[in-house]
Structure 1
Amino acid sequence: MSSLILVLGDQLTETLPAIANARKTKDTILMAEVREEATYVKHHKKKIAFLFSAMRHFAKALKDDNYRVDYVSYLDDNNQGSLLGQVRYALDNGNFERVVCTTPGEHRLLKSMQQWENELGVPVEICEDNRFLSTPQEFSEWAHGKKQLRMEFFYREMRRKHHVLMDGKNPIGGKWNYDSQNRESMPETHKVPKHTTFDIDDITQDVIELVEREFEHHFGELDNFFFAVTRKDALKVLDTFIEERLHNFGQYQDAMVEGKPWMYHSHIAFYLNCGLLTPKEAIDAAERAYHAGQVPLNSAEGFIRQILGWREYVRGFYWHFMPGLKTDNYFGNTRSLPSFFWDAQTNMNCMRQCIKETEQNAYAHHIQRLMVIGNFSLLTELSPEEVQAWYLLVYADAYEWVELPNVAGMILYSDGGNLASKPYVASGSYINKMSNYCKNCGYQVSKKTGPKACPFNYLYWHFIDKHKEKLSNNNRMAMIYKTYSRMKEENIDAMKDDATIFLTKLTKNEEV
């Protein structure tokens, strides 16, 4: 019995059961650059170029390893425009008795695949994605009966289960979490190692030219293409991070510096999320570096927590709470995205820097995403649906399973607190503490009210005031509401008035 094995653009891993169990002389691996997946949101040009190039290189590697591969490029005459259409076309034009695929990273696509057997008239096997260190079923079992779900406790279970940074039954160093040591601002004069880049080969060049022609109206720039597009080069990114950046990663992982988008971060989420790297090899590399004395514990633990803790947690959370997570809107926010989310034309330097770097690189690190762009999105009452679509399309490491919990739960609190213990909002003082953005801003972070005041200052207290009924009983908000209760009424009114003026400008899409 010959099988048609569908491999998606974020499943570029030879050890996937669907691929590893393929019979090279009988089965065919199908890969396709389908229009539906590339355009259901207008993905960043660099994101499309990266994935198409990585897919083409992966298909070549499979062919070189004597797999039978049917690769359908974007402009092929037989490109059917959708995954289902492409599978049906392959079945109609080949001799296959079944379809094999791997669980996708989107709820909508899994629901579609679960109907394929009826629609196609052949058996369809959906294999478990074995690249994660926990399964959605394990997460749901862990979550069952709990009044509150918190990543920290899930992370501890994962540490124990996989014996990572453990001393017997206890965490190495006596603490599970060294986050308190990972919040230092970085001096502007600090020299950060150059991020890893690669020469553009003929395959990538062809893809870049394709994207420039076919996706010219999509967001983002194609210049200075830097991605690894093969497993060999992705491993080089990981190795270079461990050698050059991990030592200082913990200390400066939350810092932001104008003109330095890459900082000490690993930049491997691109490759973890499309399959060129596995989480276990990244975790093992960091743990080895710690045991070899190359990096301090706070750096190794902070990096491992992002993968073994947060990444695994949000994936389980996504499948546990879908499909409701996609439409949750706890605060009832409906304001449309302002135009500067697309062109970075704003007087707020922090937003300008983060959006411009996103436009250039299809990348921004987690504090830029959470505490600048995300903070602004929640304080200004932007529509969860529009914000979710924006984050999904602008970042090259974004797939719905990882994007949606982070945006709906962590950034917008639109799920009402299932993911985050409190809304992640802050005034301008936080951004000033963690970055040098404020010194080149059109506003003054020291001013709380008035036309020159930092908008984050009065928007923050407007948010606190507006949502006191929903948030004042939250234990983690108690100190904030205690401060709020001591504020003079005229100060509160002034901040509310300034917020109203600012939000009205946003609604009218005026410059802010």
Structure 2
Amino acid sequence: MGTLRLILGDQLSHSLTSLENCDPKRDWLLMAEVREEASYVKHHKKKIAFIFSAMRHFAEELRARGLNLHYTKYHDQDNQGSFYGEVARLCQRQKITKIVVTHPGEYRVLAEIQSWQQKLNIAVEVRQDDRFLASLEEFSNWASGRKQLRMEYFYREMRKAWHFLMDGNKPVGDKWNFDSANRKALPKEMSPPQPTKFEIDTITQEVLELVAKEFDDHFGQLENFHFAVTRDQALVVLDEFIAQRLVNFGDYQDAMVQGQPWMYHSHISFYLNCGLLTPKEVIEQAEYAYRNGDAPLNAVEGFIRQVLGWREYVRGLYWLKMPDYKSENFLEATRSLPKFFWGSHTKMNCLHQCIKETSENAYAHHIQRLMILGNFALLAGLHPDEVNEWYLVVYADAYEWVEMPNVTGMILFADGGLLASKPYAASGSYINKMSDYCKSCDYKVKDKNGPHACPFNYLYWDFLDRNKEKLGNNPRLGMPYRTLNNMSDEKRQTIQRDSQIFFKALEQDEKV
């Protein structure tokens, strides 16, 4: 008679609440590689390999602590293929009287877990995930009664509550946000350091062989796997970011360079989102670097804002608004995801580079995701369901709680402005300013119309024109709409004609 403590694949933390007061003599831990989770969308090969390898390494650490762990591998003959099947099987074998699990990261998983008590006639306890710095109750209390749920104001409250980058009651530097200093293009003479890489061990090699065999039809490349798969390795990634890249992270966090997918970013979202690192320790190390004079304030504040602000905020928003949030489509977008998103066969070099690097690495940094891939999805009117699924599939740090608010709210404005105050739409001039992609493109970024013009140029105005009824009164879009309204009828007709030609080619699967 004992307790079953289920550990999910994004809960690889020894401080997990479901492990508190664990009795090694009576309790059983369960971890399982289940078909249902690996295939409910066709996750990137590297994403599956990363999660399975990290799970198996974490399992070894739990066994080394003397805990009773039942670990089901994907190929195990009696693998039931689902969390429920594995839980039910172990409950029957070990005479379990209670099930304990830390709050999962996805609504559908929570709904499934909440049905187990009735199905199994066993008490189920879902414990708070205190690895996050804001509880779901705290976020709900902050959001209550507010007309606008802006991240910036939530972020300020979090800074005060945790006293990060504060001088007494004031923010360090007398400003909460240094984002305006973080928009520089990378100078030609600068070359970002390579990401931290690790050799493949026996456990990871076994997983890579499994993924190559069982998931060969999934998106992405499996070669050159070098991710951290243990907490010790993840700490090395964090240390090397602080020492090598944080100093330049602020200035160049929005920059994009062909052949440089990693830039000065931290590359720790994989490890934060699966539990190998905690947000508190990450923030503390970054702040220490500032206090010690090793990194400038704009870099440290910008980094902390991503972890303490955006990451905590989107998680709170997800749980506050689900399940209705999943069906939001404010702009009534209906176009299917183009096939080139799965193969990078496009003449638009910016999209080609970002999709190619996503396929290779299961990673792209946040501006590539937002202002290249997401910008196109927004301008082209791609359906939120298809865009959400693509982002969930292709990135190794993507779990629904973090992916959906960023896509539905930030990228597609599908929630009507709940998350973002305006759509993040941009023409080719922004891409040209922040990257070197346009220099190697078949299209001409300086051309506004015609067969050789950058499609982002006319699609930007077409997007504003066709969504004028819903966006025309947005105060943050006043200037572009004034420009649009002052265009001649001939100019607007040319924009519509170019856009229609482009969309027709897209629908016919022509190379655009």
Fold match, TM over 0.5?
yes
> For the residues of structure 2 that align with 1:417 and 1:78, how far apart are their CA atoms?
48
In the other structure, the counterpart of 2:465 is 465
CA deviation after TM superposition for structure 1 residue 140, in Å: 1.2
Whole-angstrom CA distance in 2 between matches of 1:59 and 1:478: 55
**Alpha-carbon offset, residue 188 of structure 1:** 3.2
Task: Name the structure 2 match of 1:167.
Answer: 167
Question: Is 1:427 aligned to residue 456 of structure 2?
Answer: no
Q: Secondary structure at the match of 1:71?
A: strand
Q: How does 1:339-488 map onto structure 2 within 5 Å?
A: 339-488=339-488
Task: Give the aligned partner of residue 107 of structure 2.
Answer: 107
Asked if residue 204 in structure 1 is aligned to residue 204 in structure 2, the reply is: yes
Q: Which residue does the alignment assign to 1:65?
A: 65
Which residue in the other structure is 1:274 paired with?
274
Distance in 2 separating the partners of 1:457 and 1:473: 22
Instruction: Tell me the equivalent position of 2:8.
Output: 8
Alpha-carbon deviation of 1:189?
3.1
1:48-87 matches, within 5 Å, as: 48-87=48-87
**Unmatched 5+ stretches in structure 1:** none
Alignment partner, residue 130 of structure 2: 130
Pairing of 1:317-328 with structure 2 (within 5 A): 317-328=317-328
| Alpha-carbon distance, 1:380 to partner | 0.6
Counterpart code for 1:313 = Y
Secondary structure of 1:98's counterpart equals: strand
CA shift digits 1:431-478 (9 cap, x unpaired): 000000000001000000000000000000000111111111111011
> Does the Cα contact within 8 Å between 1:188 and 1:257 map onto a contact in 2?
no
Q: Is the 8 A contact 1:247 1:299 kept in 2?
A: yes
* Cα drift, residue 21 of structure 1: 2.2
TM-score of the superposed pair, with normalisation by structure 1: 0.99
1:331 matched to 2:326? The reply is: no
Q: Which residue of 1 aligns with 2:184?
A: 184
1:150 paired residue number: 150
**What is the DSSP-based 3-state SS (H/G/I as helix, E as strand, rest coil) of the residue aligned with 2:56?**
helix
Q: What amino acid sits opposite 1:350 in the alignment?
A: C
Q: Structure 2 CA distance, aligned partners of 1:189 and 1:452?
A: 31
Matched ranges for 1:228-267 at <5 A: 228-267=228-267
Secondary structure at 1:93's aligned position in 2? helix
User: How far is the alpha carbon of 1:299 from its aligned partner?
Assistant: 0.4
Distance in 2 (CA, whole Å) between partners of 1:383 and 1:474 is 22
Aligned equivalents of 1:316, 1:384: Cα separation in 2: 20
Q: Distance in 1 between matches of 2:294 and 2:483?
A: 44
Partner of 2:4, secondary structure, is strand
Deviation at 1:492, TM superposition (A): 1.4
Which range is displaced more, 92-101 or 303-312? Answer: 92-101
Note if contact 1:29-1:67 (Cα within 8 Å) is conserved in structure 2.
yes
Moved over 3 A (4+): none
Deviation at 1:111, TM superposition (A): 1.1
Which ranges in structure 2 are unaligned for 5 or more consecutive residues?
A: none
Any idea what SS the aligned residue of 1:424 has? coil
- Deviation of 1:488 after TM superposition, in Å, equals 2.0
The offset of 1:332, in angstroms, is: 1.1
Q: CA deviation at 1:214?
A: 0.3
Q: Percent identity?
A: 60
Partner amino acid for 1:41? V
| RMSD, aligned α-carbons | 0.7
User: How many residue pairs align between the two structures?
Assistant: 512
TM-score by length of 2: 0.99
CA distance in 2, matches of 1:189, 1:359: 28
Taking the aligned partners of 2:468 and 2:348, their CA distance within structure 1 comes to 27
Mapped to 1, the partners of 2:377 and 2:383 lie a distance apart of 8
Answer yes or no: is the 8 Å Cα contact 1:351–1:372 preserved in 2.
yes
1:477 and 1:149 map into 2 onto residues whose CA distance is 19
CA–CA distance in 2 between the matches of 1:443 and 1:411? 24
